[in-house]
Amino acid sequence: MESNIYNCIYLSGDKYQIEHFKVQHTYTKNNIVYWDCYNFLSNKDLDNKFLKNSPKCGIFDTEDDFIFITTKNEDLSQCLIVLSKYYTKITIKLEFFDENYSKYYGWLFIENGKVLGFDHINLDDIYYPTIENKLTILGNKDDILDFLIKNNISNKTKFIRFKKNQIPDIGNNLILQNYNDYSLLTFKTYKKPCSVWLMKKSPLYPKLNFCLNFKDIDHKFMGSYICSKDKIKDSKFIVLEKNDNKNSNLFKYNNYDEYYNHKFT
């Protein structure tokens, strides 16, 4: 679903460059003023990998040295970083956020063509849990090695990429520790643990046993799965959050999916 992104820009410094920044890139269509720098940028600028899929235009409004540009889905930060090399005598301050103040927020500070500060946060990252997964693989050393090789997992692996129809879709910050009769994988996932991925993998390795322990980084819940072949031998899920009386109802939810659906859907 599309959403409007509000880009609030404050300019200071050389008056000529400020005026050029506001006037050079604007045009009017159907009584609506647009800001569009696409034709101003060089082919080399447009080939910038960070700029290719970022907006370069939006609905324009201005008041004194403030500029307000509304874009669709993405902010103008990458565009302004590339564009700023043509405006080396002004300071550009950008704040951006979505129309409902619910998706993300960010800021950018450019002085004389140099980026001095930039940061942004996806507000969903605060709303949804980040989960620490510990996956222990038990069995014959050669069978474990076969599992690791076929899933492209090694000491150099930084993340596991799951299929798009599985949640989570990415596990990152992966650490692999090898032992004689088992291997331990630790990594983080977003929204959900890697249990769906594991249930699809375990039938392919009937000689191995898998134990998945997971908890969110804020210590609100923890759980586990023990599985082999295509069966879950055991599973646990407890809630660590305390109510107003500072008590925990450990067994309020039967499993993580029930907890997730109640909390986030």
pLDDT tens for 14-61 read 999 999 998 888 888 888 988 888 888 877 777 766 666 677 778 888
Domain tally, the chain: 2
Segments forming the whole domain that contains residue 8: 4-124
**Lowest-confidence segment of 82-91, 212-221, 241-250 by average pLDDT:** 241-250
106 and 162 together in one domain: no
What is the pLDDT at residue 201?
Answer: 87
Quickly state the pLDDT bin for 175 (edges 50, 70, 90): confident
Taking CA atoms, 255 is separated from 33, 94, 149, 191, 251, in Å, by: 53, 44, 31, 14, 9
The arrangement of strands across the sheet holding 4-13 comes to 26-29, 32-36, 57-63, 66-72, 4-13, 90-98, 104-111, 114-122
Among 91, 124, 157, the domain-final residue is 124
146 and 258 belong to one structural domain: yes
Determine contact, residues 217/130, Cβ cutoff 8 Å.
yes
pLDDT at 217: 86
pTM, 2 dp: 0.59
Rounded CA-CA distance 157/50 in Å is: 24
Shared-domain flag, residues 152 and 176: yes
**Count of alpha carbons within 13 angstroms of residue 2, beta-carbon side:** 4
| Domain identity same for 8 and 120 | yes
The number of residues making up the chain comes to 265
Average pLDDT taken over every residue of the chain: 83
Residue 162 has pLDDT above 60, yes or no: no
Identify whether residues 51 and 153 lie together within a single domain: no
Under the banding of pLDDT at 50, 70 and 90, the label for residue 92 is very high
